[in-house]
């Protein structure tokens, strides 16, 4: 974690709580890049607290000019906005099926 950012478990919050506090801002940032249907996946989506980056999956449009560098920059922007390490996971709509028992939290 970067100095000045919330530590895991601070104020009883888990990463999902921190992300949901800024959900509108995160969605607006993603929408500005043409990305939609944002959802917190993996351990963070299940409301758990682990010392690893949280993942936010987003649907890519059918046509996009986003590069790997653009997505890496987006990871940093979302992380700065939320105050936690976040990885944006781009997916084509319908590309990934949920696993049994997997939890997802839509923003």
Backbone phi, psi, residue 99, to 5°? -85, 150
The fold adopted by the segment(s) 11-94 is Beta Polymerase; domain 2 (3.30.460)
CB contact at 8 A, 55 and 41: yes
Q: Count of CB atoms within 10 A of residue 34's CB?
A: 14
Whether residue 89 is predicted with pLDDT greater than 60 in this model: the reply is: yes
Task: Delimit the domains of the chain by residue range.
Answer: 11-94
The whole-model pTM stands at 0.80
| Segment 28-83, tens digit of pLDDT | 999 999 999 999 998 999 899 988 999 999 998 888 889 999 999 999 999 999 99
The encoded tokens of residue 74 equal 């987006």
């Amino acid at each position: 974690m970067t100095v000045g950012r919330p530590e895991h478990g601070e104020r009883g919050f888990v990463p999902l709580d921190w992300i949901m506090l800024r959900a509108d801002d995160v969605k607006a940032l993603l929408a500005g890049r043409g990305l939609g249907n944002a959802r917190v996946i993996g351990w963070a989506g299940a409301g758990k607290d682990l010392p690893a980056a949280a993942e936010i999956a987003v649907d890519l449009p059918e046509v996009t000019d986003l590069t790997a560098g653009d997505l890496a920059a987006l990871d940093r922007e979302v992380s700065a906005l939320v105050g936690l390490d976040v990885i944006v996971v781009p997916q084509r709509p319908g590309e990934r099926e949920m696993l049994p028992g997997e939890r997802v939290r839509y923003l």
